[in-house]
């Protein structure tokens, strides 16, 4: 008969011994009694003071001593504890077992980033518990000099960290890390500070530079407000992540894991995992097709091998890895594809990290490392979850289930076979605990039936035991992982140095990101174009950089400009590229071959968007730019500029009029003019390109007196100076309010005000992207450019009349309005029916011609949707998206085309980007009302970069990248996207005709089958503009 482990010990148990600890006497229960080997259990012994009230977010403190006898007969409150059968699987094998609890989520990992709230409180809790064990365990019959710590998953990562970190590593002697270790990507992150500040903001508690005051407010929150639940987050750049995790803090985790491991004293270890770790992390109620599996394998491998790191060999390496998992050329049944997907997922989650952990432990210690793969499972152990698993196999939590003899995923009845495996695995573990050898005191464990579990070695770090009905010792672990490690080691950061080029300020050396081909490309990343705008230079115009004497290594991106990164925006940026006020750097990507023209290559300068408050040049890539832009005979420059308050602060007078970000961009363009010929570029053929706020910025730069002569052609993508969001008439007010928020009031003296503001920590002024509600029917950014009389002396429409005309490309995506309807999947038809006419009414003002306003509103609304008709929900939502798109970009873009045609004889090429790949949106797809080409999609295919999530470009995607990047580089080189001869073969016989005053709606639709169209958005934007002009006469 089997036995059930589905509940905690119940019923009446006699009292245990009374044991006197350092803090007082405890009495528990004798959970196993009346047998030869009786076992006492002491449950709920305090090892620290309760971390509540003022002790919330502080280091754990020793518990208060107590008088009398403390009853420890049940688990402490809030224990997250399932059935623990320690009394049978551990204690009857001559081992004292201790289980502990520690603070979780924000309570255990909250940080202020300074001494006010130490990081890694959960690890400090565990350390306090280990100190308690060291001081008291002898009273319970335990040997304080023979302590093994064991954990699973995040617990496995924790025990590994405890074994190498200075505050804890001398408190025990052996380690068992099950299905988790410190080399796993999820174990250590740098996102805790960012997450804590965002969480506080959710509760209306803004960090303003004073950590103590901030923490006092946070401590007032009810505990349940800060509680988190376990959720499976999507991988970021091929890296598995936890929502919050330990971080390198300089105090507990003092250095990166690899360095700590080298310094720590080695310990005997057991390290392992289940056969299919990826299985349970891919549960879904939806069926999975063979095509889904193929895509998922591709995406996982692409994430693990990003092109940014591994260069031109990436595709070859990816293909090699994919073929190890499954041969794409052969036909396979659906289950084979599922297992390939789950194996790839397991590699990303734990397989590679576990193999790496074994290797590093062997390289840094002479102590044995026993490696296992747990293959046994009982199909009933998964309960209802089994219906959502890709297939039923040994997966995450299986090993701990049979180590402890308890149902972890769901309660279930152990069969005799299950109990045999429990006896085997728990014996191997207790042997290790007692003798440092899972094979036992005599080096031969009878339950292994003649097999000896040999430790892994440096000669063969893959050697491991497979625990199953018939256990066996294996010499190769999942084949893929060792090859993967070798490939990654061989390819990572193996770029030869670039040429050394002498700029006006000094010599720079970068990397040759494309090499070994006929068209090689050099990348110089992180070249300063201005002095750091820090200290007294905060809120000042940019100044030329200082010169340098030595060779300046320009081999990686500079920090991002100060901003708050809004989750779930690419967390890898937070980890790899921190934010800083010192961010005025540019990147030059340049061909290594000789240009055809003696004047040099055409130059394309890209300026990123981000609502004037966020983003960086980093997101838009490097190798992809080399491939898609530079290999088409163009030098490409990407720049950064000050964002948010740092880039647009204004006192409203001459001291700090505003638009510092535009001055930064202008300084970068001056640097290009002075230095780009050294990189092979033609300073007399410079095209500036930007998207969203970057599109608005390049349009402004092309018409403002300070900058208009520094560029020759303009590409405004999904943003331009004719759009309402570009200009902001509320900057001075916003700055004064922000000053008040920081307790720095404006008292009539701008100089004194700025001096006080310069003392604030930079992060206290950082902003994040926020969707602002429309104001008087106009889209707005929180902060941005203003008419200041100096950089922008007049409204853009007036400046355009005075500026010299330039050839232009202007465009947007098909469904720009999706960005304004994120998270509206559940919107009702009735709500759509209300919102659509409200948006139209906001854009058609009644003030001038009330009668005509109503008529025009009705006309435009009917162009969107007939309010009187009954439509399906999809029709209503699409109409709402179109209305939002009109307000956001459609009308402004049509207006921009017209204004350019009216003020210049230079051509204006108008496009609408319709193509999209449904897999490109990542997490955002779950919030979109429907999938379509929307904001940012055009720049993705212009540069071949990933914006929303890492994904693999299909052949069709790459075809569109080749088409759009060719049209752009043709325009940069010749002023005509159709190319030198006016016929671009990739357009399949189409010619991109410029818009005209006779037909300003004429545009190219870019899609699988591109085509010229004579009407834009059914003529709605033109109807708005006609009304505007009618009422302004």
Q: Quick one: average pLDDT of 777-804?
A: 94
What is the Cα–Cα distance from 551 to 524, expressed in whole angstroms? 12
Residue 604 pLDDT:
98
Per-residue pLDDT at 774: 67
**Rounded Cα distance, 346 and 357, in Å:** 15
- The separation between CA 369 and the C-alpha centre of its own chain, rounded to angstroms, equals 34
What is the spatial distance between Cα 432 and Cα 272, in angstroms, rounded to a whole number?
14
Whole-number pLDDT of residue 86: 38
Over pLDDT 90: what percentage of the chain?
A: 68
Is residue 13 situated within a structural domain?
A: no
What's the pLDDT score for residue 819? 80
pLDDT of residue 988: 87
Residues 716 and 835 in one domain: no
The predicted model gives 145-160 an average pLDDT of 96
End-to-end CA distance of the chain: 93
- Residue 365 is predicted with a pLDDT of 94
Distance CA 716, CA 668 (A): 18
pLDDT digits (tens, 9 = 90+) for 739-768: 999 999 999 999 999 999 999 999 999 987
Task: For residue 795, give every residue at least 6 positions away whose Cβ sits within 8 Å of its Cβ, in sequence order, or none.
Answer: 727, 787
Extended strands (E) in 619-707: 634-639, 681-691
Query: Would 259 be classed as within a structural domain?
Result: no
The DSSP-derived string for 684-728 is EEEEEEEETHHHHHHHHHHHSTTTGGG-SEEEEES--TTSTTT--
> Final residue of a domain: which of 782, 806, 830?
806
Residue 4 — very low, low, confident or very high, per pLDDT cuts 50/70/90? Answer: very low
In a domain, 201, yes or no: no
pLDDT beyond 80 at 310: no
Could you give the CA distance from residue 337 to residue 325 in angstroms, rounded to a whole number? 9
pLDDT at 198: 85
Catalytic residue numbers, as ranges: 692, 816, 935
Q: Which residues of 390-409 are buried (b: 16+ CB within 10 A; e: fewer)?
A: bebbbbbbbbbbbbbbbbbb
Structural domain range at position 906: 816-1032
Band of residue 478 on the pLDDT scale cut at 50, 70, 90: confident
Please give the pLDDT value at position 87: 41
- Same domain for 628 and 514? yes
Which of 776, 806, 836 is the last residue in one of the domains?
806
Q: In this model, does residue 824 exceed pLDDT 80?
A: no
- 245 inside domain: no
Domain membership flag for residue 799: yes
696/775 same-domain check: yes
Same domain for 754 and 889, yes or no, is: no
Q: What count of Cα atoms within 13 Å lies in the side-chain half-sphere of residue 893?
A: 34
Please report whether residue 455 resides in a domain.
no
Given this model, what pLDDT does residue 79 score? 33
5 has pLDDT over 50: no
85: exposed, middle or buried (C-beta count within 10 Å: 0-12, 13-18, 19+)?
A: buried
Report in angstroms the alpha-carbon separations of 424 from 219, 438, 439. Answer: 47, 10, 11
Task: Mark whether 891 and 919 lie in a shared domain.
Answer: yes
Q: What are the residues whose beta carbons fall under 8 Å from the beta carbon of 281, sequence distance 6 or more?
A: 232, 345, 349, 396
Same domain for 802 and 823, yes or no, is no
Over residues 20-41, the pLDDT tens digits come to 999 999 999 999 888 888 999 9
User: Is 575 a residue whose pLDDT tops 60?
Assistant: no
At 595-615, the pLDDT tens digits run 999 999 999 999 999 999 999
State residue 3's pLDDT score.
37
pLDDT tens, residue by residue, 438-474: 999 888 888 888 899 999 999 999 999 999 999 999 9
The answer to whether residue 571 scores a pLDDT higher than 50 is no
Residue 698 has pLDDT above 50, yes or no: yes
pLDDT tens-digit profile of 104-152?
999 999 998 888 887 899 999 999 999 999 999 999 999 999 999 999 9
Query: What CATH number is attached to the domain comprising 863?
Result: 3.40.50.1820
Distance CA 616, CA 622 (A): 13
Mean pLDDT of 870-878: 93
Model pLDDT, residue 893: 98
Residue in 650, 624, 657 with CA at minimum distance from that of residue 638: 624
pLDDT surpassing 60 at residue 629: yes
- Same domain? For 828 and 789 the reply is no
pLDDT (0 to 100) of residue 776: 65
Q: Are 184 and 355 in contact (CB under 8 A)?
A: no
Q: What is the mean pLDDT of residues 299-304?
A: 79
Same domain, 871 and 739: no
Q: How much is the pTM? A: 0.66
Answer whether residue 283 shows pLDDT above 80: no
Q: Quote the CA–CA distance of 554 and 507 in Å, as a whole number.
A: 10
The pLDDT of residue 770 is 66
Q: What is the pLDDT of residue 902?
A: 97
Beta-bridged to residue 1013, according to DSSP, are 1003
Are 791 and 820 found together in one domain? no
pLDDT number for residue 826: 73
Answer yes or no: is 219 within a domain.
no
- Nearest to 937, CA basis, from 911, 900, 909, 973: 911
899: Cβ–Cβ under 8 A, 6 or more apart, which residues?
722, 797, 800
* Alpha-carbon distances, residue 4 vs 337, 406, 422, 447 (angstroms): 36, 9, 13, 23
On the question of pLDDT at 320 being above 70, the answer is yes
| Pair (884, 1008) in one structural domain | yes
792 and 940 belong to one structural domain: no
Q: What is the mean pLDDT of residues 365-385?
A: 92
Q: In what order do the strands lie in the sheet with 464-467?
A: 148-152, 174-178, 269-274, 369-374, 464-467, 472-474
DSSP state of 349: I
Residue, of 935 and 240, whose pLDDT is higher: 935
**Contact, 859 vs 1026, CB < 8 A?**
no
Cα(131)–Cα(120) distance, rounded to whole angstroms?
17
- Tens of pLDDT, residue by residue over 72-96, are 999 887 532 223 343 444 456 789 9
Tell me, yes or no, whether 204 lies in a domain.
no
Whether residues 788 and 838 share a domain: the answer is: no
Residue 8's pLDDT band (boundaries 50, 70, 90)?
Answer: low
Rounded to an integer, the average pLDDT of 852-876 is 92
For residue 848, what pLDDT is reported? 55
Q: How far apart are CA 434 and CA 436, in angstroms?
A: 6
> Mean pLDDT highest for which of 288-302, 828-842, 847-861?
828-842
**Which of 785, 806, 827 is where one domain is finished?**
806
The confidence band for 491, taking pLDDT boundaries of 50, 70 and 90, is very low
Task: Give yes or no for residue 176 having a pLDDT over 60.
Answer: yes
Report residue 981's pLDDT band, with 50, 70 and 90 as the boundaries.
confident
The dihedral built from the CA positions of residue 722, 724, 729 and 735, taken in this order, carries a sign that is negative
Higher pLDDT, 188 or 299: 188
Can you tell me whether residue 898 is helix, strand or coil?
helix
Highest mean pLDDT among 97-111, 228-242, 267-281, 675-689: 675-689
Note the pLDDT of residue 236. 59
Summary mean pLDDT of the chain:
89
Indicate the number of domains in the chain: 2
């Amino acid at each position: 008969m089997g036995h059930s482990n589905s509940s905690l010990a119940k019923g009446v148990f006699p009292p245990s011994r009374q044991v006197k600890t350092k803090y007082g006497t405890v009495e528990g229960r004798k959970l196993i009694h009346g047998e030869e080997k009786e076992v006492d259990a002491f449950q709920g012994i305090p090892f620290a003071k309760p971390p509540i009230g003022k002790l919330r977010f502080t280091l754990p403190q020793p518990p208060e001593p107590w008088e009398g006898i403390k009853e420890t007969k049940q688990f402490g409150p809030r224990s997250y504890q399932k059935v623990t059968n320690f009394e049978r699987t551990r204690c009857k094998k001559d081992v004292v077992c201790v289980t502990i609890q520690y603070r979780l989520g924000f309570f255990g990992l909250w940080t202020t980033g300074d001494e006010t709230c130490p990081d890694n409180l959960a690890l400090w809790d565990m350390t306090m518990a280990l100190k308690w064990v060291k001081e008291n365990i002898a009273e319970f019959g335990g040997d304080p000099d023979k302590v093994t710590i064991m954990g699973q998953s995040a617990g496995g990562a924790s025990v590994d960290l405890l074994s190498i970190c200075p505050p804890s590593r001398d408190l025990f002697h052996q380690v068992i890390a099950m299905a988790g270790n410190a080399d796993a990507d999820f174990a250590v992150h740098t996102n805790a500070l960012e997450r804590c500040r965002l969480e506080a903001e959710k509760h209306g508690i803004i960090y303003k530079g004073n950590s103590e005051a901030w923490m006092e407010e946070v401590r007032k929150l009810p505990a349940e407000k800060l509680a988190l639940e376990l959720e499976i987050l999507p991988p970021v750049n091929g890296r598995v992540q936890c929502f919050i995790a330990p971080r390198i803090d300089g105090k507990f985790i003092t250095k990166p894991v690899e360095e700590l491991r080298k310094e720590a004293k080695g310990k005997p270890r057991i390290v392992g995992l289940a056969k299919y770790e990826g299985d349970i992390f891919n549960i879904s109620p939806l069926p999975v097709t063979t095509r889904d599996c193929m895509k998922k394998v591709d995406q996982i491998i692409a994430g693990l091998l990003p092109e940014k790191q591994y260069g031109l060999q990436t595709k070859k390496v990816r293909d090699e890895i994919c073929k190890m998992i499954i041969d794409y050329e052969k036909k396979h049944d659906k289950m084979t594809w599922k297992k390939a997907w789950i194996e790839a997922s397991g590699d990303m989650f734990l397989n590679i990290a576990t193999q790496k952990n074994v290797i590093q432990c062997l390289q840094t210690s002479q102590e044995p490392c026993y490696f296992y793969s747990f293959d046994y499972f009982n199909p009933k152990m998964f309960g209802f979850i089994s219906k959502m698993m890709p297939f039923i196999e040994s997966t995450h939590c299986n090993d701990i289930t049979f180590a402890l003899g308890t149902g972890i995923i769901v309660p279930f009845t152990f069969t005799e076979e299950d109990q045999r495996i429990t006896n085997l695995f728990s014996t191997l573990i207790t042997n290790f605990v007692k003798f440092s050898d899972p094979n036992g005191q005599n080096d031969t464990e009878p339950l292994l039936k003649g097999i000896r579990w040999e430790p892994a070695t440096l000669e063969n770090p893959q050697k491991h035991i497979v625990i199953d009905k018939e256990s066996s010792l294996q010499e190769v672990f999942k084949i893929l992982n060792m090859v993967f490690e070798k490939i990654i080691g061989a390819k990572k950061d193996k770029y030869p140095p670039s040429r050394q080029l002498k700029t006006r300020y000094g010599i720079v050396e970068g990397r040759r990101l494309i090499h070994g081909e006929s068209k090689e490309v050099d990348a110089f990343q992180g070249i300063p174009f201005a002095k750091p705008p820090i200290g007294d230079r905060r809120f000042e115009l940019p100044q030329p950089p200082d010169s340098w004497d030595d060779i300046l290594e320009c081999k990686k991106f500079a920090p991002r400009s100060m901003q708050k990164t809004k989750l779930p925006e690419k967390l890898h940026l937070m980890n790899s590229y921190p934010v800083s006020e010192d961010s005025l750097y540019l990147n030059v990507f340049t061909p290594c071959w000789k240009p055809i023209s003696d004047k040099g290559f055409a130059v394309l300068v890209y300026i990123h968007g981000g609502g004037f408050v966020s983003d960086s040049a980093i997101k838009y890539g490097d190798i992809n730019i080399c491939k898609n832009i530079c290999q088409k005979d163009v030098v490409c420059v990407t720049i950064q500029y000050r964002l948010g308050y740092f880039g647009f602060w204004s006192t409203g007078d001459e001291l700090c009029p505003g638009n510092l970000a535009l001055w930064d961009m202008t300084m970068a363009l001056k640097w290009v003019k002075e230095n780009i010929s050294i990189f092979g570029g033609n300073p007399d053929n410079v095209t500036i390109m930007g998207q969203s706020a970057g599109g608005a910025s390049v349009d402004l730069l092309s018409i403002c007196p300070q900058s208009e002569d520094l560029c020759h052609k303009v590409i405004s993508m999904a943003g331009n100076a004719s759009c309402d969001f570009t200009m902001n008439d509320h900057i001075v007010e916003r700055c004064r309010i922000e000053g008040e928020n920081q307790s720095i009031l404006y008292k009539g003296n701008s100089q004194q005000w700025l001096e006080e503001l310069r003392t604030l920590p930079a992060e206290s002024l950082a902003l994040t992207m926020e969707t602002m509600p429309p104001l008087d029917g106009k889209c707005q950014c929180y902060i941005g450019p203003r008419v200041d009389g100096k950089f922008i002396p007049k409204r853009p429409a007036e400046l355009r009349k005075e500026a010299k005309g330039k050839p232009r490309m202007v465009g947007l995506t098909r469904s720009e309005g999706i960005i304004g309807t994120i998270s509206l999947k559940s919107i009702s038809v009735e709500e759509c029916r209300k919102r659509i006419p409200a948006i139209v009414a906001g854009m058609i003002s009644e003030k001038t011609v009330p009668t005509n306003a109503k008529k025009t509103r009705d006309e435009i609304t009917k162009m969107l949707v007939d309010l009187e008709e009954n439509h399906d929900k999809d029709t209503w939502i699409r109409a709402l998206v179109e209305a939002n798109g009109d307000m956001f970009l459609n009308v402004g873009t049509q207006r921009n085309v017209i204004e350019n045609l009216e003020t210049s004889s230079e051509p204006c090429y108008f496009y609408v980007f319709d193509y999209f790949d449904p897999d490109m949106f990542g997490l955002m797809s779950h919030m979109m009302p429907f999938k379509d080409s929307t904001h940012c999609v055009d720049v993705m295919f212009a540069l071949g970069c990933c914006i929303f999530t890492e994904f693999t470009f299909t052949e069709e995607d790459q075809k569109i990248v080749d088409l759009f990047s060719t049209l752009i580089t043709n325009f940069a080189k010749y002023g005509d996207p159709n190319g030198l001869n006016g016929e671009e073969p990739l357009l399949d016989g189409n010619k991109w005709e410029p818009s005209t005053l006779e037909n300003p709606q004429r545009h190219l639709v870019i899609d699988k089958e591109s085509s010229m169209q004579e009407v834009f958005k059914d003529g709605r934007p033109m109807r708005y503009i006609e009304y505007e002009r009618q009422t302004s006469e």
